[in-house]
A and B are shown apart, each in its own frame.
Chain A
Amino acid sequence: MTTTMSERFAYLADGPASVDGAVRAIAPALELELVEVAADSGASRAFDDSEAALHLAAQTLGLVESLGLTRVLTSSDAVTLHLRRSAHRLAADVALRARVNARLAEVGAPPTSGAVDVQHLVWELASERALALLHEHCLRPLEDLRVALLRGCQLLRPSRDLGASEQDLLRPLGRVVAACGASEVPIESGSGCCGAACAETRPEIALGAAAVPLVEAVDADAEALVVASSRCYAMLRDRREQIARNVDRELALPVLHVSQLVALALACVEESCSSIA
């Protein structure tokens, strides 16, 4: 691997530690050079405080730009949507950008141009470049593994804000899973919702929504549920018992973030994310 060939990203390491660990572990083999940035993207308040969320996104984007970077990588669907939408708004609306940058200046934060390309990990993994490397380095093809997929609401919708058609946005996770050698078990709710956004405010809605993909995956005899977003991962992993109790079902199905599946395939699991083994 040479630095000239690698893809350089600012990486927002704000996922669960096991996901961030897996991302760090697979990065070298996939020639991803990650410059870790600790910043609040604002995604978690995008629906409750849109103004603050926009400013936090701008601050994050400005920070990335001040590091000489033009690309951001994240493992979360919500962060992807929020940063992409914010970047687009800031780039397109001169007056808005001036107003927001003035606020950033007040707290000594660097301004943003909005011209930052925000990528989700699974999109990058599904690029021709990364897939070729994945094939090349796949030490432990997961040939016997039957997995159901959960693609992550905010990696699919609103497609207008994500800048691609919903059809195109449906594909990346399946491609990565196939490159790892695993086989996909189709479930109806694969492009559905894990309920994470409501987990605190309306837990019964969140738990009800979260049960759907898990139940379908179990019923389809999947051996694991692979999720594209670290947010879905946290929801389904951390609240599994509650979800299961709520629907009175045994839902002892492993949930893997796509970075962890890739880590398994690349056989770098022992060093980086033993918690999932």
Chain B
Amino acid sequence: MPGIEFLFGALTPFNILLAVGGVVAGTIIGALPGLTATMAIAVLVPFTFGIPPSSALIALGAIYTGAIYGGAYSAVLLNTPGTPSAIATTFDGYPMAKKGDGDLAITLACLASVIGGLVGAAFLLFLAPPMAKVALKFGPVEYFWLAVFGLTLIASLSEGSVLRGLVGACVGLLLGTVGVAEVGGDIRYVGNFQALLGGFDVVSALIGLYCVPVLIDLVATPDPHLKLTHQVAGFRLGEALRIAWRSRLNLTRSSLIGTLVGILPGAGGSIASLVAYSEAKRVAKHPERFGKGEPDGVLATESANNATVGGGFIPTLVLGIPGTPPDAVILGALMVQGIRTGPQLFGEQSEIVYTFIYGLFIATILMLPIGLVIGRYAFKSIVSIPKALLVPSVAFLTIVGSFAVQNNAHDVQQMVVLGIFGWLAGRAGFTASPIVLGLILGTIAESGFVRGYLIGNARGEPVAEFFTRPISIGIIAFILLGLLYPYFTARRRVRGPTNE
């Protein structure tokens, strides 16, 4: 087993404490409708700045996996997904609760989340090291195309039109050019704002773009005063284990779907759970039971969305390209820790990576008892937190968190301004994720682009340098596939009814 010698490093009392704390905090935030897993990580990132990188990663991984699972509570018991990843869980989870099986649905969701999380983490453990070896062969041009691939994919997969997604990605890339250029040393787009010389701080920008728009929208509508109509009376673990064993094929398939979707840059738990749900329904013996309280529906969505956690870490750690939006925040946190992700991470700093991966396994396993206990005893209290207290508390975390990145008030101002900009862009249909990914990948893209351009110029073939290398051609093919995919699916959707 790769890096088994680091297992004991992950099992220190401090790391286990962080894993428990992370899962609890993530589950609570994920359970609150309106607060996403990305936001959970963004507001809690500053708590990890003072601790060693591997422990910080374990805490962030635990928050992430807990938040994805936490979304299931509200989906099952309130018919309101706690996070977007749990949207598909409402399809069968809530009907189960209406039938009096809410406790069983919660336990099934917990079991499926643990299994999906473990499958994703196993893929991270076994797939990432060989991928890192391949990635060592990548040159600047390949990194440029990889960045473009990530941006086109997120533009294609994020909600709304591909064109708007691509424009958003360009906005992020342009924001990334502000400050002193890494290649050439030019001072760009700073104007009279000396504070912008270092460019936009990535973590502050992420906190602003992901959290401020949510807060602005939260105050715009009254508190729904959610009331639990279906109580969780017990665990029904034995019954849930028997159902899960009977549906092991569905669990395996959904976990694999989640892992694969997680590996695709920019695609997260919401896409994975919807794909896994439709696939589970398609191959089911009784598809007519789906949507009416079918346990297989809950198992499919919850295993898939938690499998994206491990899957998403693969491109994040191997290539420095975030697999899911929460990974983008974690990538920013790693930059603050002074860690440069990429294939060399698995050689030079393998201790950090493997300690984290084993820590992720531990956090995922811990989610079973923690998740069941929170669902049974604490969920009622969590959903009764009034919005009037929630919004200022989260706002305080965004302010203090963006300040703590570099102990600089200018970062707070950037965070708020970018947050308001992100909200305005969102109102016009330009979602935050492509902008964020553009900002994060800007450095990789520009460095690869300029270095490739210089190498090509030296050879007298600047264009050929970008289009003739074998790995580049492969990535370009994937980019075209990613761009054309939405058009093919749209055409198929349009043709569908006429063919029937």
A and B interact: no
Instruction: Give the interface of A toward B (CB within 8 A).
Output: none
